Structure 1
Amino acid sequence: MDPFLTLLHSVSSSLSDSELSSLKFLCRGKIGKRKLESVGSGGELFLILLEQQLIASDKLYFLEGLLKSIKREDLLSQLKQFVEEGEVNASDDQPDVHEKRLQEAAIEVICENVGRDWKMLIRKLGISEVKMDRIVAANPFNLREQLAQSLREWQKWKGKDAKVTDLIKALRSCHMNLVADRVEQEILPLNTGTR
């Protein structure tokens, strides 16, 4: 897999809706209005930038400028790491495809069932207050998105060590047993017979 595309995918999945809107605005001089209106994700925006040769694995100046403009220091450091190592995340640090699917399904169930107490769960998973505050600031009126972004942050941080069972343990330790039961009943059965 192309390390640069992996980097762009990682950056794209970290962007909030408001950050994507800011990026689209910043690209106005480079990309036509009609094309920009059809962009619904960071990935789509990056594809256009790749096609127009504004970004490439050896041409990161424009992307760096965009990330500086939206004040995403975390993504800038990921970009710097890519430049230094020639790769963003070694693929052996990522969970296998099956585990990743289970995590995504578990995150969906958690987002549907955990309400205002979501921060307690995210603290149990070890995500810092600073990261949570940044996620809340990026999605000020969308509780579900705050939780989803926080869980994705946990996924990225843990890499291949991120397990659905860890989510269930954290839910139980926060006395969110009904949600933990739902994850166990709906997600864990998908795990049997596939290994």
Structure 2
Amino acid sequence: MDSFLTLLHSFSSSLSDSELSSLKFLCRGKIGKRKLESVQSGTELFIILLEQQLITSDKVSFLEELLESIKREDLIAQLKRFVEEGEVNAPDDQPDVHEKRLLEVAIEVICENVGRDWKMLVRKLGVTEVKMDRIIAANPLNLREQLFQSLREWQKAKGKDAKVADLIAALRGCKMNLVADRVEQTLLPLNAGTR
């Protein structure tokens, strides 16, 4: 499924009737009056904007202006996140099921055992300061959740190239050898089952 269409659909379902009316009014210079009169939902409006190429997954400035005009900061934030993160990973860009399970377990062990030095680990994995700051702002008082979301961010960015070995190497690179050992010990029985 197209992640941009999914995003637009979620926007549509969160618009009030008065917000939809405002959006229709703001589009008058771009869309004909008869077409606008037939629009009953945000989805219908977005379909017209897509058809006329006023918005596309890589051309969202007009959509952002519309959302700013109706003061929907929450939707603007979602749109900016979509632009920064790009397309949601396609299914063929995901690690295989076994590797995914190992990653889930490894991330759980890391979250349980890495404390205040989590940023050093996440930097080693290549997560940007901007993304870390956004995660911290979203989870201001929850250290474990900050680490968990940062590791998820790394996993999403790497797609099928996300490997437990990278996590262990990063832990060792940060001198977090006890945590690396714990991850390896926890994964031993899981790996043994696949041989």
**Please, what TM-score do these two structures have when normalized by structure 2?**
0.62
* Consecutive aligned runs of 4 or more in structure 1 exceeding 4 Å deviation: 53-56, 58-61, 64-67
- Paired with 1:190 and 1:120, the residues of 2 have a C-alpha distance of 28
Deviations 1:147-195 (A, max 9, x none): 0000000001111111111111111111111111110000243123326
1:74 paired with 2:95, answer no
CA RMSD of superposed structures (Å): 3.5
Q: What is the letter of the counterpart of residue 158 of structure 1?
A: K
1:105 aligns with 2:105: yes
Is the radius of gyration larger for structure 1 or structure 2? 2
Structure 1, residues 63-85: CA drift from partner, whole Å, max 9, x if none? x867633355132456xx65xxx
Is there any run of 5+ residues in structure 2 with no aligned partner, and where?
18-40, 56-63
Q: Which has the higher contact order (CA 8 A, sep 6+)?
A: 1
> Does the aligned pair in 1 maintain the 2:113–2:179 contact within 8 Å?
yes
Amino acid at match of 1:92: D
Corresponding position: 1:119 with 2:119: yes
Does the C-alpha gap of structure 1 residues 72 and 104 become closer, same or farther in structure 2, counting only changes over 3 Å? farther
Structure-1-length-normalised TM-score: 0.62
Q: How does 1:82-161 map to 2 (within 5 A)?
A: 88-161=88-161
Shift of 1:109: 0.6
The answer to whether structure 1 residue 182 and structure 2 residue 182 are counterparts is yes
